[in-house]
Structures are given as structure tokens and as C-alpha cells.
């Protein structure tokens, strides 16, 4: 049976370390890192994420600023708010919760956030840095996934990594990170041929497709490390359940190590958001 990679424990450890860094910033530089989260609309999943983010921000000793705007807020109003947060010295990190309502241009909004305060790592400057020489902000979900992989496997050099999913938020930045870590990287997607066979070549398999339990145990190389990024809400036996993109029961009989859903990648994503905010605050403190 696979080792369970406990994301809650990893996240707790990261937050404990962050709390120490935050208290040093307070005592040595009189600086309290601040994270502003902007939510447009009423999407229930987004509301839960935003609440969790705010709670954990405060728990590590940071300041949390929440801005909730109506679904019909126009783009100019949102861009004005971002401009004021860019100029606010108490704010070191800005996150605009995605998805945005369809009448708002997501690309424009993401790139309106100052790249120095872009704790999502979605701004073009940070995407460019990740794909060149580094030094920018790394997106939270791939960063958390990489931390758990390194903790589980140590040096990743020479390992075959297959990422299923090519999103800007997870698939592409995950590929860049694993390439930097000297893996041989393949990005698979909905048009990939022989997906099952390809997955069976992976020493590291990252599932980020958003399709419940798509990846089965017999797609997995024995002993492989599986990172399940999926968070899918399904109805089963009359109850609502959260499941990943990997069929956990069959996969955990074959894999060497696997992240569960819930309790795997999810908690690490939020902890990495706090990590990115503290990094930005430390850069300002010098």
C-alpha cells in the first residue's frame, strides 16, 4: 500500500515556520505582512476558499484585508480597487479570486496587480521569470506540490514526470518547476494519445484535469509518486463527496506514495499563499 502524503501536516509545518518569520518581521522591522483578497460575486466554493485564507492569514500573525464585490461590479471599479491596493503600503500580497464573472477580462485584471504583490504568480512578469531564470513568485498549487515531492523523494533529478492537465494555474507552472528540478517532463491533456500508457511511464504523476477519479490504478507505474490536484464534488450514495482526479482506492494499491483528497494538495496551496506573501514582505523589509 502507498504511503499517504499528508498535506495537512506539511501545511501545518510550513505555517509554524511562517509564524516565526512573521514575528521576526514585527520585532526587527516593525512590519506586519498583509494579504488582500478580492472576491467578485457569490460563487460558493470561492467563498469557502476566501474564508479559509482569511482565517489562516490571521492565525500566522499577518493582516488580512477582504474585499467582496457584487457579481455585477464593472471592470473599471475592480481595476480601481487593484490600483489602490497596489499603492497601499500595508498590503504586501494581492489575490483576486478566480474565476471572475464573464463580463470582466481576467487577463487584464491579473496583469493589473503589481507583479511585486502578485502572490498567485499569475502576472506575466512572474510567468516569464518562472520560465527563464527564476526569482519571481511561483503559483501556490504547483509550489506546494513540489515541496511535498521533494520531501517525499529528495532529489528529483532524472525522474520521468507526467502532468495531466495544461492549465495556466497548475499544469504549465508545474512543468516549469519539475523541469528546473531536472525531471524529464511531459504535459498530457485531453487530446493526448495513449494517455494510459504515457501515465505508466511516470515516476511522478501529477493529475490536474478536474475529472473525478479519471486516473485508475492500472495507469500507474508500481512505486510511482502520485500528486492529485483535483477537487471534484460528486454525489454518491445520496451524499456529496470530495474526490480527486485519481481513483484513490485502486491507485493506492500500486503507487509508492499518494496525496489524498481532501487533505493533500489543498491545504498546501493556502499555506504557500501565506509563504509567498511573507516572501514579498521580507523583500520590502530588505
Tell the smallest beta-carbon distance from residue 169 to ligand GUN (Å). 6
104 is in an annotated binding site: no
231 is in an annotated binding site: yes
Grid cell 524529464 in the structure block, residue: 184
Q: Is 13 a catalytic residue?
A: no
Tell the smallest beta-carbon distance from residue 275 to ligand GUN (Å). 13
Cα(126)–Cα(146) distance, rounded to whole angstroms? Answer: 17
Exactly one of 11, 18, 31, 96 binds ligand GUN (CB under 6 A); which one? Answer: 96
Exactly one of 2, 36, 100, 140 binds ligand GUN (CB under 6 A); which one? Answer: 140
Q: Identify which of residues 2 and 82 has a Cβ nearer to ligand GUN in the complex.
A: 82
Q: Is 120 a catalytic residue?
A: yes
Residue showing the smallest CB distance to ligand GUN in the complex: 98
120 binds ligand GUN (CB under 6 A): yes
95 binds ligand GUN (CB under 6 A): yes
Site string for ligand GUN, 212-251 (x = CB under 6 A): ----------------------------------------
25 binds ligand GUN (CB under 6 A): no
CA distances to 6, 225, 266, 279 from 220, in Å: 20, 9, 22, 36
**Cα 45 to chain centroid, rounded:** 15
**Of 89-97, 160-168, 249-257, 259-267, which segment contacts ligand GUN by CB under 6 A?**
89-97
54 binds ligand GUN (CB under 6 A): no
Given the residues 116, 118, 120, 247, the one annotated as active site:
120
Q: Is 53 a catalytic residue?
A: yes
Site string for ligand GUN, 162-191 (x = CB under 6 A): -------x----------------------
Binding residues for NADP(+), as ranges, are 165-167, 231
Point out the residues that are catalytic: 53, 97, 120
Q: Could you list the residues that contact ligand GUN (CB under 6 A)?
A: 95-98, 120, 140-141, 169
Amino acid at each position: 500500500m502507498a504511503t499517504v502524503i499528508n498535506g495537512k501536516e506539511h501545511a501545518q509545518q510550513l505555517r509554524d515556520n511562517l509564524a516565526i518569520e512573521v514575528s521576526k518581521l514585527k520585532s526587527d522591522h516593525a512590519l506586519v505582512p498583509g494579504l488582500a483578497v478580492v472576491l467578485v460575486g457569490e460563487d460558493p466554493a470561492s467563498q469557502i476558499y476566501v474564508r479559509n485564507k482569511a482565517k489562516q492569514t490571521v492565525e500566522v500573525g499577518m493582516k488580512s484585508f477582504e474585499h467582496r464585490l457584487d457579481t455585477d461590479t464593472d471592470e473599471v471599479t475592480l481595476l480601481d480597487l487593484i490600483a489602490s491596493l497596489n499603492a497601499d503600503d500595508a498590503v504586501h500580497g494581492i489575490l483576486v479570486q478566480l474565476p471572475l464573472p464573464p463580463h470582466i477580462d481576467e487577463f487584464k485584471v491579473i496583469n493589473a496587480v503589481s507583479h511585486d504583490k502578485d502572490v498567485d504568480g499569475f502576472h506575466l512578469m512572474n510567468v516569464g521569470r518562472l520560465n527563464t531564470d527564476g526569482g519571481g513568485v511561483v503559483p501556490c498549487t504547483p509550489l506546494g506540490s513540489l515541496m511535498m515531492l521533494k520531501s517525499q523523494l529528495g532529489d528529483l533529478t532524472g525522474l520521468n514526470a507526467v502532468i495531466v492537465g495544461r492549465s495556466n494555474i497548475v499544469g504549465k507552472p508545474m512543468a516549469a518547476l519539475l523541469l528546473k528540478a531536472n525531471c524529464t517532463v511531459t504535459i498530457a491533456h485531453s487530446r493526448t494519445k495513449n494517455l494510459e500508457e504515457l501515465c505508466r511511464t511516470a515516476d511522478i504523476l501529477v493529475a490536474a484535469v478536474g475529472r473525478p477519479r479519471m486516473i485508475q490504478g492500472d495507469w500507474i507505474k508500481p512505486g510511482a509518486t502520485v500528486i492529485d490536484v483535483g477537487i471534484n464534488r460528486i454525489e454518491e450514495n445520496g451524499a456529496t463527496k470530495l474526490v480527486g482526479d485519481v481513483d484513490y482506492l485502486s491507485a493506492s494499491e500500486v503507487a509508492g506514495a499518494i496525496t489524498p483528497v481532501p487533505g493533500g494538495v489543498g491545504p498546501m496551496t493556502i499555506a504557500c499563499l501565506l509563504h509567498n506573501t511573507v516572501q514579498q514582505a521580507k523583500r520590502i523589509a530588505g
